Amino acid sequence: MAACGRFGFDARIAPPDAPRDVAADSAPDAPPPVPMLVAMTGSSTMDPTTPPGNLQVTIPAVGSGHLLVVGLAEHNGTAVATIADGSGHALVPAGSQAVSGSTASEIWYSGSAAGATSFTITTTSPSNFDVWFAEFSHTSAVPAAVNGGCLQYPPTIVQITDATTVPNELVFNVMMAQYPMYVSGTLAPFVTLPPQTGNGAGYYIPAQPGSYTAQYGIAAGSGMTAMTCQNTAVWMPAL
């Protein structure tokens, strides 16, 4: 009589000291997502409907984990005292204000403003200023580099150079131009944000590490004496 048996094959279980599949274990990690602009809102106390000094700005709700960058161009050299959302959460200055006489610029930011839709900007004294709120996804929460400075035009508008160290870092720049100069926006490869009363802001996400400088076109006042100030901040992509 034939013995009963089981057709097929038993699973082969490797002993604990068996070599591992090196090729599978050493597969490269996927690169981090590339930062991208989610939303942008611009405003100015030079608008007929807004008084100088404190400015309330309404923006689309900030997404979870997103970076909020605020670029400011101040017409009277006045510094920003605070920027806070409707719940009282304060934003942080990204380094020092660039200021020369009545011309100034600066950058503030927050990596934890999720859900916020309104912000109040308070200056140290009544002043006129332009502001850009830009929301980015897939970035670190704190800037890796910050730079700023001022230069009288002519011969050239101030140009602030910052270096990136890894691919796809966010480089953000804001510029204040003293009257009678008006800028038309950033020049390529920077992406320009809509100018406010002749001042500008823009950003660039370079695919390769290197040194990058935001440059601006002149819409009016070419050749006429004007102080120019810029601030730049760089954020690494989120890991």
Quick check: is 169 in a domain? Answer: yes
Instruction: Report the pLDDT value the prediction gives residue 194, as an integer from 0 to 100.
Output: 97
pLDDT tens column, 110-136: 999 999 999 999 998 888 999 999 999
How far apart CA 228 and CA 176 sit, in angstroms, is: 6
How many domains in the chain? 1
pLDDT tens column, 40-59: 999 999 877 777 778 999 99
For residue 157, give its domain range: 31-235
Terminal Cα-to-Cα distance of the chain (whole angstroms): 67
Q: How confident is the model at residue 226 (pLDDT cuts 50, 70, 90)?
A: very high
Of 232, 208, 50, which Cα lies nearest the Cα of 158?
232
Of 57, 236, 25, 38, which Cα lies nearest the Cα of 129?
57
If you compute the radius of gyration of the chain from its CA atoms, what whole number of angstroms results?
Answer: 25
Q: Is the pLDDT of residue 203 over 80?
A: yes
| CA 148, 153, 157, 163 torsion-angle sign | negative
Instruction: Report the pLDDT value the prediction gives residue 32, as an integer from 0 to 100.
Output: 77
Q: Which two tokens stand for residue 124?
A: 């140290």
How far apart CA 56 and CA 210 sit, in angstroms, is: 37
Quick check: is 16 in a domain? Answer: no
% of the chain exceeding 90 in pLDDT: 78
Of 233, 33, 212, 68, which Cα lies nearest the Cα of 144?
233
Higher pLDDT, 174 or 29: 174
Quick check: is 127 in a domain? Answer: yes
Q: How confident is the model at residue 26 (pLDDT cuts 50, 70, 90)?
A: low
Three-state SS string over 5-62 comes to CCCCCCCCCCCCCCCCCHHHHCCCCCCCCCCEEEEEEEEECCCCCCCCCCEEEECCCC
Quick check: is 183 in a domain? Answer: yes
